[in-house]
Amino acid sequence: MIGINNVHKTFHTGKANQVNAVNGVTLGIDTGEFVVIVGANGSGKTTLLDMVAGSVLPSSGNISIDSQNVTRLPDYKRSTWIARVFQNPVSGTASELSILDNFRLAAIRTQPKGLTIGINETFKNQVRERISTLGMGLENKIEQPMGTLSGGQRQALTLLMSVMDNCKILLLDEPTAALDPKSAQIVMKTADDLISHYRLTAILITHNLKDAFNYGSRLILMGEGQVLKDFDTSQKPLLKQNDLFDWFG
């Protein structure tokens, strides 16, 4: 599904502040695999995710999706396959628009845009039904502006919106880092349910080692721009939570 072949990324090449962010990473991620990536700040995990998303181009190496080379394809052209949830809940929503309008825009994200948003009762009911699964009581507030909601509410809705247009890949860039513990729990449970239900290929970057232990079918540790450890579906269940803490000891 996702092929990452000997990818390097250097910022500020040849200057005093040159940074070798990713150094020769090669990974194959199968369809439906849920990969969790952990690592200290500056380990290269976010840069790697940016290159998969298409928002950062590799200095060398190549990236493929469904055997198609997308290395030089920008992020907006990769949106046919990829949806992304960022750390900041504000990044995934339009504050001035209603919840309903946000969901409609998400549903037509990769489609040709007409002159109207085209909301009908069927779509409203669909949105209410999806939102009700969060247990936040927002299904009866779909006309409320998105900007009036808490960060946790917005992030949970962003996750639901990310699968409105039948994406195949979900990239989660520290989606709970700015949330309180209760909201973070809801967001992670929602993400896990969506990945399983829609059989998405997913990559989660997190500093939360408990989430890294509890979620995902594969666990990768990065450091100095390289993959240091890679525990696949058969190996991850054998890990203990203390093993993860020892990596950062």
Mean local confidence (pLDDT), 13-41: 96
pTM over 0.85? The answer is yes
- Domain 2-93+151-247 maps to which CATH number in 3.40.50.20, 2.40.33.20, 3.30.830.10, 3.40.50.300? 3.40.50.300
Average model confidence (pLDDT) for the chain?
93
Token pair for 46: 């976010």
Rounded-to-integer distance, Cα 240 and Cα 213, Å:
8
pLDDT at residue 165 is higher than 90: no
User: Tell me, what's the pLDDT at 6?
Assistant: 98
Predicted local confidence at residue 114, as pLDDT? 57
Q: Note the pLDDT of residue 64.
A: 97
Q: Give the C-alpha separation, 246 to 122, whole Å.
A: 51
In three-state form (DSSP H/G/I as H, E/B as E, the rest C), the secondary structure along the chain is: CEEEEEEEEEECCCCCCCEEEEEEEEEEECCCCEEEEECCCCCCHHHHHHHHHCCCCCCEEEEEECCEECCCCCHHHHCCCEEEECCCHHHHCCCCCEHHHHHHHHHCCCCCCCCCCCCCHHHHHHHHHHHHCCCCCCCCCCCCEHHHCCHHHHHHHHHHHHCCCCCCEEEEECCCCCCCHHHHHHHHHHHHHHHHHCCCEEEEECCCHHHHHHCCCEEEEEECCEEEEEECCCCHHHCCHHHHHHHCC
Sequence ranges of the domains in the chain = 2-93+151-247
Is residue 108 scored above 70 in pLDDT?
A: yes
Query: Which pLDDT tens digit goes with each residue over 203-239?
Result: 999 999 999 999 999 999 999 999 999 999 899 988 9
Residue 248: band (very low, low, confident or very high) from pLDDT cuts 50, 70, 90: confident
> What would the pLDDT profile of 113-161 be if each residue is shown by its tens digit?
554 557 889 999 999 999 999 999 999 999 999 999 999 999 999 999 9
